[in-house]
Amino acid sequence: MMERERIRMGILLVLFGVLGGLVDGVRVQDVSAKMSLNNFFAPSEKIVNGNEVTSMADYPWLVSMGIRTVLGIAFTCTAAIVDETLVLSAAHCTHGVNRSDLYICFGLEFDSSTCRQIEDYVNHPDYVDSDLTLTFGFDLSLIKMPSSLLQDGRKVLMLSTLPVITWTSSASIGWGSTNDNSDPIVLRELDTILVTATGCDLLVGPSADARLVCADGDHDGTAGVTCSGDSGSPLLVLGDNLDDSYSVGVLSFVSVVQGTNECNSENESAYNSLSAASHIEFLEDAAASFGGSLTYAESDECDRDAFFACMEENDLSCALNDQGEDCCAGVETTLDCLAPIIDNCGNQQLINDFPSVSETLMEQCNPEEVACFPGNAVVTLEDGTTKPMDRLEAGDTVLGGDGEFSDVFGFSHRDSTEFGKFIRLEMSADFIELSPNHYLAVGDKLIAAKDVKVGDQISLANGDLTAVTAIHRVQLKGVYNPHTISGDIVVNGVLASTYTQTVNPLLAKLLLLFPKALYKLGLREPLGSLLYKTVPNAIVRWIPRGPSKWIA
């Protein structure tokens, strides 16, 4: 990177940090292949942990972008066909580029021999070329081609102007290359889920608005993320029938781990939302100025205002990591409000997806939720050795609070095959992963993991307090909830309770008195394996739940 570009980036990052744009020790960065203002091109990163696409027939709307350099036409970004002669991409991919130097290219691998020179392009009038302003949206570019693009099976991609519904299955895609110059630049895909701006860990403060939407590639624990070279690509909701597929956004930026150029899979990828009024107006005006028009997934009869109104009080994002009573009541109300509107919107894939997405969202509020530690969590035994949770047995003596050791007398979850959703709390030198409704020691209280905030003081095994520096959602294999005689346990060096919100701790203590007594009389595992998988919902629904905070 040129020296003046490093200085420019440094100034922007300082400003960005002051305004709240730095998130969890990472910085945001556009994900084009451009590395400086001088059109210097370097090899870019691939979609991390995605899959290589084997046929363009699966994505007939996708095209790559190239720019003329002294060495020939070089790859820069990804784009989508949105009209017979129109292509949609990100403004930071085209800003400052001469129209005669910009090309649209075709095929699974980037091949400059397939490239066709563009006729013209227009960027959103409010777009400003800086990393600082990426978080404000407006990163859109509409490109005009001199002739039809609809040959060789290529098609027009529909756009959706409705707000996204969190947890809807989506796909991120792009031509990001590998680190090796000799490797081909090939199309790759990544399974993601949609996340509204307010539920997106990457966005904070004023950036969490309706002009942006996120895609989470790590929702299934695969640490997937878009990266350099994928800019401008559509955020796809793939149809059961190919022609029902549509785009809800245009890829703008990801977070980059400080001190590296690595795209951070612990945060989502940020897209410019196609439901934002300023974005819709720009695209329609730009398309009309080029003599074209856009195709929408929704019919003219769709009541967009009513759709927005349904999501005004609760946009469903709280179901990702809250699951409190207010959140769950709001989620149910919003889903009930949306159902009849979606039925009349004419978006066939949204109609198909809505029942399963609704079920998934409501499952987050189900009292049958897993309350556990993952299988790779580590406990300390009385002899000073450590043991992973998936090898822990009833009868093992483990470290708990105040440096005391206590016997494990049973498990209320013990399943090595199940994948659980956990919250990862990071401190300066430690971390713990536990389910959202599992209690751990915060000061003199036990607080459910989902209610812990950055800056809260967590108790360590030695009694010291340490501040939480970052919070992430992860999905990990194995769900284990051991019960100790003392009611607490040190996991990964952090003091946690064996109690959860699933059952009010006061009631749980009473219920466990009898199995504790049996254990002390010599019965090795009085709880048996009855509760290894789950507690029957018919029972749990009538048991009082614990509060978010509880004084032990």
392 and 519 belong to one structural domain: yes
153 and 64 belong to one structural domain: yes
Q: Specify the pLDDT at position 198.
A: 84
Distance separating alpha carbons of residues 56 and 35, to the nearest angstrom? 28
16 and 116 belong to one structural domain: yes
147 and 276 belong to one structural domain: yes
- The residue-averaged pLDDT of 82-95 equals 96
Confidence bin at 280 (pLDDT 50/70/90): very high
Type of residue at 402: D
- Per the structure, how many domains does the chain have? 3
Query: How far is C-alpha 393 from the chain's CA centre?
Result: 35
The answer to whether position 220 is within a domain reads yes
466 and 496 belong to one structural domain: yes
156 and 199 belong to one structural domain: yes
Domain limit, last residue, from 332, 365, 398: 365
* Token pair belonging to 128: 């400003």
Distance separating alpha carbons of residues 94 and 140, to the nearest angstrom? 9
Beta bridge partners of 212: 272
* Contact of 102 with 143, CB cutoff 8 Å: yes
pLDDT per residue as tens digits for the range 164-190: 999 899 999 988 643 333 455 788 888
176 and 103 belong to one structural domain: yes
Using the 8-state DSSP alphabet, how is residue 222 labeled?
S
Q: Residue 229 maps to which CATH number?
A: 2.40.10.120
The answer to whether position 373 is within a domain reads no
The answer to whether position 370 is within a domain reads no
- The residue-averaged pLDDT of 413-418 equals 83
The residue with greater pLDDT, 4 or 189, is: 189
Q: Residue 452 maps to which CATH number?
A: 2.170.16.10
The residue with greater pLDDT, 191 or 28, is: 191
Domain limit, last residue, from 263, 290, 317: 290
pLDDT per residue as tens digits for the range 363-379: 766 544 556 899 999 99
Q: Is the pLDDT of residue 423 over 70?
A: yes
217 and 243 belong to one structural domain: yes
The range of the structural domain enclosing residue 432 comes to 378-550
Predicted TM-score (pTM) of the model is 0.67
* Contact of 322 with 450, CB cutoff 8 Å: yes
Q: CA triplet 373, 471, 364: central angle to 5 degrees? A: 60
Q: Is the pLDDT of residue 327 over 90?
A: no
pLDDT per residue as tens digits for the range 255-278: 776 666 677 777 788 999 999 999
Q: What is the full DSSP assignment across 264-285?
A: -TTS-EEEEETTSHHHHHHHHH
* Token pair belonging to 457: 């003081």
312 and 428 belong to one structural domain: no
Q: Specify the pLDDT at position 51.
A: 83
Q: Specify the pLDDT at position 473.
A: 72
The answer to whether position 371 is within a domain reads no
Three-state SS for 208? coil
238 and 336 belong to one structural domain: no
Three-state SS for 6? helix
275 and 393 belong to one structural domain: no
Domain limit, last residue, from 290, 308, 324: 290
318 and 263 belong to one structural domain: no
pLDDT per residue as tens digits for the range 35-82: 322 222 222 234 656 788 999 999 999 999 999 999 999 999 999 999
Average pLDDT, the chain: 81
Confidence bin at 324 (pLDDT 50/70/90): low
- The residue-averaged pLDDT of 430-446 equals 87
pLDDT per residue as tens digits for the range 462-476: 889 999 988 887 778
